């Protein structure tokens, strides 16, 4: 439980563009709401609607004049009108800090006021909306006197600071945000997710690329924000592709150039060995010949790797019989297996057609079988199986050698990588060649453990369609 919570917390702590955009949208909503409240408060302060309606003043004046001879009725009616006035502005409490205040004078005497908590408010001049201080507070007040009597009515509203504090204190500002923001999260998340679809499409195409696929991205977004990113990725892919091509050409040229001096060295060493009668010198020359063989094999594997990498995706494939091709290569390698005391055994279905490039497939088969022979002990059997597997052609090679640990079965496909615990010498290119050829032919290669111990290499290639118009070639 604690581990799951820790994992979720780790995921939550990880920076997220989606979360940043959501928070930005929530921040914008809060900012707009704050600005709206500020504008409303400022507008109510600069242009108070209650104070500019003359009809309110005239109605209060008429009540005071008409009921001047009935003080009780006058007070009752003024209080009822005051309560109705408070209700129209949304506050039924006369003692509230945001409530307007009404004071009525008649014959120079204060006959009514909304609350005793607010002292007498006097304007400097009639019919003028102005800021007046009373009771240690600021008010926006207006006094209107009757033109034909001695009755005057004063209406006042709190200052903008008092209105602001009250709005904040009573939750008129925070409460709408607290209620509305949770309901806005899902629409905001949905809008951001929909807006980021082109970004996800670029990310998906990039993530689906294999290490050998350096072609430009096929998705060309029309959005000006994404165009520089896609152009930068394509430019990087082009530079890597050019660099890889130069590297491949350099390795191929170097391998070609090395074959001639290695062959000449071998011829000269063999001649010297034949002429020498000193056993010590003959042993040294034998070691030199073995080193020459290893160097020649490395050069040959480098050339095979360059050829497999150079197979064009647009090249016209040829229909080949995989079972016949494997049988032919086993016959060629039989001598090597016999020299090492290893037996080769083939189990094959008839007619397993594949589309491909012959030389590359030969390199793949040779490397798989040579590796199996090399790592198998004397007296062991290398099992080779060719079969149909649905729409795929299946080739498996199982040896009885030490195998490869599960943790290294992906890394051994890297060029020049070898199992650190391996006692046999090698270049680390055999399985890299196999992987390159299989990838170029749209298949897959998987390493596992053979039933009797050792390594099991499984290659799956697309099975050729029977009516494909290419000629069938087996060798």
Report pLDDT digits (tens) over 283-294.
Answer: 888 888 878 777
- SS3 sequence, 146-174? CCCCCEEEEEEEECHHHHHHHHHHCCCCH
Q: What are phi and psi of 145, to 5 degrees?
A: -100, 145
Q: Closest Cα to residue 440, out of 368, 375, 364, 376?
A: 364
Residue 105, CB-side half-sphere exposure with 13 Å CA sphere: 16
| CA-angle at 454, arms to 452 and 455, nearest 5° | 120
Q: How far is CA 118 from the centre of its chain?
A: 63
Given 3-state DSSP classes, what are the helix, strand and coil percentages for the chain, each rounded to the nearest 5?
55, 15, 30
How is residue 138 written in tokens?
């600021």
Residue 397 confidence (pLDDT) above 90: yes
22-31 confidence digits (pLDDT tens): 778 888 888 8
Give the three-state DSSP class for 286: helix
Q: Please give the average per-residue pLDDT across 354-373, as a whole number.
A: 87
pLDDT at 376 over 60: yes
Give me the residues paired with residue 381 across strands: 343
Q: What's the sign of the alpha-carbon dihedral 433, 435, 439, 442?
A: positive
| 3-state secondary structure at position 473 | strand
Quote the pLDDT of residue 67. 92
Q: What is the pLDDT of residues 140-191, one digit of tens each?
A: 889 999 887 789 999 988 766 545 555 555 556 667 777 777 777 788 878 8
Q: What is the pLDDT of residues 108-149, one digit of tens each?
A: 899 999 888 888 988 888 888 888 888 778 888 899 998 877
- Using the 8-state DSSP alphabet, how is residue 463 labeled? B
Q: Are 86 and 99 in contact (CB under 8 A)?
A: yes
Structure tokens that stand for 460 in this block: 């799956």
Triad 132, 136, 141: Cα angle to 5°: 20
Q: Which of 5-19, 81-95, 271-285, 345-359 has the highest mean pLDDT?
A: 345-359
Tell me which of 66 and 432 has the higher pLDDT. Answer: 66
pLDDT at 307 over 60: yes
- Does residue 311 have a pLDDT over 90? no
| Least confident range of 52-61, 64-73, 200-209 | 200-209
Instruction: Yes or no: say if 457 and 445 are a contact pair by the CB < 8 Å rule.
Output: yes
Chain centroid to Cα 125, Å, comes to 69
Cα 349 to chain centroid distance, Å, stands at: 46
Q: What is the residue-averaged pLDDT of the chain?
A: 80
Average pLDDT rounded to a whole number, residues 196-204: 83
Model pTM score: 0.48
pLDDT at 90: 55
């Amino acid at each position: 439980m604690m581990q799951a919570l820790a994992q979720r917390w780790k995921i939550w702590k990880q920076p997220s563009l989606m979360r940043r955009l959501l928070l930005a949208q929530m921040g914008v909503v809060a900012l707009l709401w704050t600005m709206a409240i500020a504008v409303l408060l400022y507008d109510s302060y600069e242009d108070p609607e209650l104070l500019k309606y003359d009809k309110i003043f005239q109605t209060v004046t008429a009540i005071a004049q008409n009921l001047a001879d009935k003080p009780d009725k006058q007070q009752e009616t003024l209080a009822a009108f005051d309560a109705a006035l408070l209700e129209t502005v949304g506050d039924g409490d006369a003692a509230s800090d945001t409530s307007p205040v009404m004071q009525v004078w008649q014959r120079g005497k204060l006959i009514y006021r909304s609350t005793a908590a607010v002292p007498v408010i006097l304007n400097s001049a009639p019919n003028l909306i102005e800021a007046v201080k009373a009771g240690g507070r600021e008010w926006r007040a207006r006094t209107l006197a009757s033109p034909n009597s001695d009755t005057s009515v004063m209406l006042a509203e709190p200052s903008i600071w008092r209105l602001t504090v009250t709005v904040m204190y009573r939750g008129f500002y925070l409460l709408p945000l607290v209620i509305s923001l949770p309901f806005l999260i899902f629409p905001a998340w949905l809008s951001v997710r929909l807006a980021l679809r082109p970004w996800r499409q670029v990310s998906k195409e990039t993530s689906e690329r294999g290490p050998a696929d350096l072609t430009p991205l096929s998705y060309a977004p029309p959005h000006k924000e994404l165009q520089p990113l896609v152009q930068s990725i394509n430019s990087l892919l082009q530079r890597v592709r050019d660099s890889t091509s130069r590297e491949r050409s350099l390795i191929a040229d170097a391998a070609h150039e090395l074959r001639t001096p290695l062959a000449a060295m071998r011829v000269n060493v063999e001649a010297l060995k034949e002429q020498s009668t000193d056993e010590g010198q003959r042993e040294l020359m034998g070691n030199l010949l073995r080193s020459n063989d290893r160097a020649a094999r490395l050069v040959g594997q480098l050339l095979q790797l360059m050829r497999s990498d150079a197979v064009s995706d647009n090249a016209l494939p040829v229909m080949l019989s995989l079972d016949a091709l494997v049988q032919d290569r086993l016959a060629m390698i039989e001598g090597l297996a016999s020299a090492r005391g290893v037996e080769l055994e083939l189990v094959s279905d008839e007619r397993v057609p594949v589309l491909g490039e012959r030389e590359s497939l030969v390199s793949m088969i040779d490397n798989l079988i040579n590796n199996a022979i090399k790592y198998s002990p004397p007296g062991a059997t290398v099992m080779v199986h060719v079969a149909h597997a649905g729409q795929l052609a299946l080739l498996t090679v199982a040896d009885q050698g030490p195998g490869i640990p599960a943790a290294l079965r992906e890394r051994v496909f890297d060029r020049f990588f070898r199992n650190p615990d391996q006692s046999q010498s090698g270049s680390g290119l055999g399985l890299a060649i196999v992987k390159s050829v299989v990838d170029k032919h749209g298949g897959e290669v998987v390493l596992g453990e053979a039933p009797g111990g050792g390594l099991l290499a499984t290659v799956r290639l697309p099975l050729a369609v029977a009516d494909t118009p290419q000629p069938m070639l087996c060798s």
